[in-house]
Amino acid sequence: MASVELKNVSKSYGSLEVIDTLNLSIADGSFTVFVGPSGCGKSTLLRMVAGLEPISKGDVIIDGRRVNDADPIQRGIAMVFQNYALYPHMTVEQNIGFSLRMAKLDKPAIAQRVAAAAATLQIEPLLKRRPAQLSGGQRQRVAIGRAIVRNPEVFLFDEPLSNLDAELRVSMRVEIAKLHNTLKSTMIYVTHDQTEAMTLADQIVVMRAGKIEQVGTPDGLYEDPQNLFVAGFIGSPRMNFLRASPSNGSVQLEAGPTLAISGAPSTQDMVVGIRPEHFVFGGDGPQLTITADVIENLGGTRYLYGTTKSGEALIVEAREQTGITSGDQVSVGLRTERALFFESSGQRLKLSAAS
Amino acid sequence: MANKNLKAAGAHSMAILASLVMVIPIYLIAVNAFKSRAQASAMSMELPTEWHFENFSTVIAQGKLWTSFFNSLLYATASTAITTLVSAMAAYVLSRARTRGRRFLYLFIIMGIALPINYFTLTSVMQFTNLNNTRLGIILLYAATQIPFTVFLIYGFIETIPKELDEAAIVDGCKPLSLFFLIILPLLTPVLATAAILNFLGVWSDFIFPLYYLNSSANWPMTLAVYNFFGQFQQDWNLVSADILLTILPVIVVYLLGQRFILSGLTSGGVKG
């Protein structure tokens, strides 16, 4: 186990900068998820930690040791790739034991550790098969087995679940969480799926365009995003954003109601963010009138996709409202105390609802 | 419908014609190899009136065919081994780490496929390096001429091996050589088999290089041994035919044994496509 420290790390290909002077510390034994849209540099950053990508500037420190020039094997990392990257010409057993073979362990020791890894992942019956004879989920287990057999200091996962179908993805997600609980190793996990980030992480690192937007716990990011991007990226369905402008101790939504706030924003245009679950039907809060476009019934809950009078799209969770059909005019109450306020540039405004 | 039948008939007759072009010379050689000297002198299509099986033993004894056979085997095997290994290594590096310089190098190497070899001062080079009329010389010469096409062949195949396999191997602790020999080379088996068979057959059947660069008959491969029976003053067509038949026999055997290795598709499954 080891901590990982990134100090002023940057990466550029010629004049193209993909990671821009980035600082991050990852605690020993934590589960850290890098999340962001494709092309944000999250995979590149992981590969820089792994030693597969040279570091242009700054230092990568694993377990207190600067590893910029160390080979992956010297860094004590193991990696699970998105497309599994199993060696097609080797059996599962040989795949898992390959790194031990490279480390020149003797055969009984390799067999013993491969068996232990296989037992952890419950893949013992597959040991004699080749990758081509495995299903996607089994291949991913073998790929994870290949990582755990080495007892690495740090596990690196590069979008390991994105090639699996939806159902399998959920069950593998749970298994990875269990694995982390058992092994208690430091894990760094890259994904573009905010659900995976929310469910797995101790610490989420939200990235965009080579920069860290915010670092925090899942709850911290969900409740207290620092900017519009994080607010929109974390949470599913995503947060609603409504155009607004300040007026004398309150905020006037273009879509209709006025929200009473404490604190006076200096900006002219602003955005109010409110999550789908922070609406109430009835009640005495500020009311929004929307036209229902689509009702998405998920069984356990339902989401109402509508349009406000100002033409803005809005998603409202309507768990109990069974009677609404598309085309209906619906009035929904907005829980002002849960609303977040942003400058139009994207920065969060620290305002709160007047009590 | 009639139109379709007409097309099929046309295609069939083309196929038959093409087959005849291939088959008739082999047939000619096969029947004439069993004829007497007098009957064979006409090189006709008719079957032998009496079968002279002893032609083959005569050819083997008079033409020192065993020596030639082992020469051919040595040249084909050694040059194929060198070509295949060197080309696989070169193609791997050129295909994986693409820089401007390597791109140029790749194009420069495969230019060798197109350039006419006769325009190069090969003889001078061979003399200067003391390789003329040596077994090593002809082996290196074959390797050099086969490498461009073999690199081209393997280069394309390497693109189908996902880079993640290299990275997984590096993370698992592979150094460049172990990465190449333990991971990449086994995955290249299908294309290496193809390349090896083509190279082997090419070298075995070649007539020109030994003619230019091997003066002493002790170094002759099977293709040149035919000169033992064919010259200015003597034309034993029956023996020539028997010799040719013996020469092409290994080619056919290698082809039949090797063709099933050409398509085996080892890479499927390791990485989701």
8 A C-beta contact, residue A285 and residue A305 = no
B270 contacts A88? CB cut-off 8 A:
yes
In the structure, what pLDDT confidence band is assigned to residue A352 with cuts at 50, 70 and 90?
Answer: confident
Q: In the CATH hierarchy, which top-level class contains the domain B59-262?
A: mainly alpha
A78 contacts B171? CB cut-off 8 A:
yes
Are residue A72 and residue A124 in the same domain, yes or no?
Answer: yes
Q: Is the pLDDT of residue A249 over 90?
A: no
- Mean pLDDT to the nearest integer, A16-24: 90
A52 contacts B171? CB cut-off 8 A:
yes
Are residue A188 and residue A263 in the same domain, yes or no?
Answer: no
Q: Is A70 touching B (CB cutoff 8 A)?
A: no
Which residues of chain A does B178 touch, with a Cβ-Cβ cutoff of 8 Å?
102
Are residue A137 and residue A52 in the same domain, yes or no?
Answer: yes
The three-class DSSP label of residue B49 is coil
Choose among B191, B206, B87: nearest CA to B142.
B206
Burial B42-70 (b: 16+ CB within 10 A, else e): eeeeeebeeebeebbebbbeebbbebbbe
Choose among A106, A101, A100, A103: nearest CA to A148.
A100
Task: Say how many C-beta atoms besides its own lie within 10 A of residue B176's C-beta.
Answer: 11
Both structure tokens of A7: 């100090």
CA distances from A136 to A123, A180, B271 (A): 13, 21, 10
Are residue A306 and residue A224 in the same domain, yes or no?
Answer: no
Residue with tokens 């955005």: A271
- Mean pLDDT to the nearest integer, A162-177: 89
In the structure, what pLDDT confidence band is assigned to residue A164 with cuts at 50, 70 and 90?
Answer: confident
Q: Is the pLDDT of residue A316 over 50?
A: yes
Task: Say how many C-beta atoms besides its own lie within 10 A of residue A302's C-beta.
Answer: 17
Which residues of chain B does A82 touch, with a Cβ-Cβ cutoff of 8 Å?
164
Both structure tokens of A226: 């620092």
B172 contacts A98? CB cut-off 8 A:
yes
String of DSSP letters for A190-229: EES-HHHHHHH-SEEEEEETTEEEEEE-HHHHHHS-SBHH
Q: Is the pLDDT of residue A245 over 90?
A: no
Residue with tokens 């109402």: A304
8 A C-beta contact, residue A50 and residue A73 = no
Sign of CA pseudo-dihedral A223, A225, A228, A230: negative
Choose among A178, A119, B183: nearest CA to A127.
A119
Q: What angle in degrees, to the nearest 10, is found between the helix axes of B54-62 and B65-96?
A: 70
Q: Single out the residue in A233, A254, A283 at which a domain terminates.
A: A233
- Mean pLDDT to the nearest integer, A165-188: 91
Alpha-carbon gap, residue B227 to B259, rounded angstroms: 31
The least confident of A305-309, A317-321, B13-17 is A317-321
Show pLDDT as tens, one digit a residue, over chain B (273 residues): 667 888 899 999 999 999 999 999 999 999 999 998 888 888 888 888 888 888 888 888 888 889 999 999 999 999 999 999 999 999 999 999 888 999 999 999 999 888 887 777 888 888 888 888 899 999 999 999 999 999 998 998 898 899 999 999 999 999 999 999 999 999 988 888 888 888 998 999 999 899 888 888 889 999 888 888 877 667 788 888 999 999 988 888 888 887 766 554 333 333 433
Q: Single out the residue in A182, A199, A233 at which a domain terminates.
A: A233
Per the structure, how many domains does chain A have?
Answer: 2
The three-class DSSP label of residue B133 is coil
Are residue A49 and residue A68 in the same domain, yes or no?
Answer: yes
Q: Is the pLDDT of residue A175 over 50?
A: yes
Alpha-carbon gap, residue A237 to B20, rounded angstroms: 71
Does the pTM of the predicted model rise above 0.90? no
**B66 against A265, higher pLDDT:** B66
The three-class DSSP label of residue A253 is strand
Say if A216 falls within a structural domain: yes
Residue with tokens 């755990």: A148
Residue A205: strand pairing partners: A34, A215
What are the counts of helices (DSSP H) followed by strands (DSSP E) for chain A? 9, 22
Say if A199 falls within a structural domain: yes
- Mean pLDDT to the nearest integer, A117-138: 92
Are residue A207 and residue A323 in the same domain, yes or no?
Answer: no
Domain boundaries, chain B: 2-32, 59-262
A72 contacts B269? CB cut-off 8 A:
no
Choose among B245, B196, B247: nearest CA to B221.
B247
Are residue A186 and residue A285 in the same domain, yes or no?
Answer: no
Q: Shortest Cα distance from B146 to chain A (angstroms)?
A: 28
The three-class DSSP label of residue B257 is helix
Which residue in B has a C-alpha nearest to residue A103's C-alpha? Answer: B173
Phi, psi of A284 (to 5 degrees): -110, 10
The range of the structural domain enclosing residue A182 comes to 4-233
8 A C-beta contact, residue B88 and residue B152 = no
- Mean pLDDT to the nearest integer, A99-115: 94
Each residue of B101-121: pLDDT tens digit? 999 999 999 998 888 877 778
**A262 against A189, higher pLDDT:** A189
Sign of CA pseudo-dihedral B93, B96, B99, B104: positive
pLDDT of residue B233: 65
Alpha-carbon gap, residue B51 to B238, rounded angstroms: 11
Each residue of B116-138: pLDDT tens digit? 877 778 888 888 888 888 999 99
Are residue A187 and residue A292 in the same domain, yes or no?
Answer: no
User: Which of B96, B161, B171 should we substitute to test contact with A (largest number of A Cβ atoms within 10 Å)?
Assistant: B171
Q: Single out the residue in A199, A233, A267 at which a domain terminates.
A: A233
DSSP 8-state symbol, B230: B
Alpha-carbon gap, residue B31 to A269, rounded angstroms: 97
Amino acid letter, A183: L
pLDDT of residue A14: 85
- The predicted complex's ipTM stands at 0.85
- Mean pLDDT to the nearest integer, A178-185: 92
Q: Is the pLDDT of residue A116 over 90?
A: yes
CB pairs under 8 A between A and B: 82
8 A C-beta contact, residue A207 and residue A42 = yes
**Is B177 exposed, middle or buried (CB count within 10 Å of its CB: 0-12, 13-18, 19+)?**
exposed
A136 contacts B272? CB cut-off 8 A:
yes
**Is B261 exposed, middle or buried (CB count within 10 Å of its CB: 0-12, 13-18, 19+)?**
middle
Please report, for the domain that includes residue A111, its CATH number.
3.40.50.300
Which residues of chain A does B267 touch, with a Cβ-Cβ cutoff of 8 Å?
88
User: Distance between the two ends of chain A, CA-based, in angstroms?
Assistant: 48
pLDDT of residue B270: 39
Residue A206: strand pairing partners: A35, A214
Each residue of B7-49: pLDDT tens digit? 899 999 999 999 999 999 999 999 999 998 888 888 888 888 8
Please report, for the domain that includes residue A313, its CATH number.
2.40.50.140
DSSP 8-state symbol, A28: T
Say if A355 falls within a structural domain: no
